[in-house]
């Protein structure tokens, strides 16, 4: 099973990289972009095939190291 963890800065925490990308898109005359948030994706190949166990385990990983929950939120997708 594969776990895809997406980590983003929390809503309300200013994202300087997202803002810079937004500026660049504006400068390139791409229209219709309201906001840009920049994050990272961590892909984990797991040995477990039990979705429930995997979800619990990856949540623990996200809380302890993959995200800094002072400033970041995360989502987990199991495929």
Map tokens 């990289």 to a residue.
Answer: 17
Determine, following the binding rule CB under 8 A, whether residue 28 of this chain makes contact with other proteins: no
Determine, following the binding rule CB under 8 A, whether residue 16 of this chain makes contact with other proteins: yes
Determine, following the binding rule CB under 8 A, whether residue 11 of this chain makes contact with other proteins: no
Among 2, 13, 30, 33, binds other proteins (CB under 8 A): 13
Q: Is the dihedral of CA 77, 2, 57, 69 positive or negative?
A: negative
At 41, is the secondary structure helix, strand, or coil? strand
Q: Cα–Cα distance between 48 and 50 in angstroms, integer?
A: 6
Residue 17 CB, shortest distance to other proteins, in Å, is 6
Query: Rule CB under 8 A: which residues touch other proteins?
Result: 9, 13-14, 16-17, 20, 65-66, 68, 70-71
């Amino acid at each position: 099973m594969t776990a895809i963890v997406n980590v983003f800065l929390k809503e309300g925490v200013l994202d300087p990289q997202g803002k810079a990308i937004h500026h660049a898109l504006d400068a390139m005359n791409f229209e219709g972009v309201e906001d840009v948030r920049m994050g990272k994706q961590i892909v984990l190949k797991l040995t477990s095939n039990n979705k429930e166990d995997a979800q619990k385990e990856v949540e623990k990983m996200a809380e302890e190291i993959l995200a800094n929950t002072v400033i970041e939120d995360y989502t987990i997708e199991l495929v």
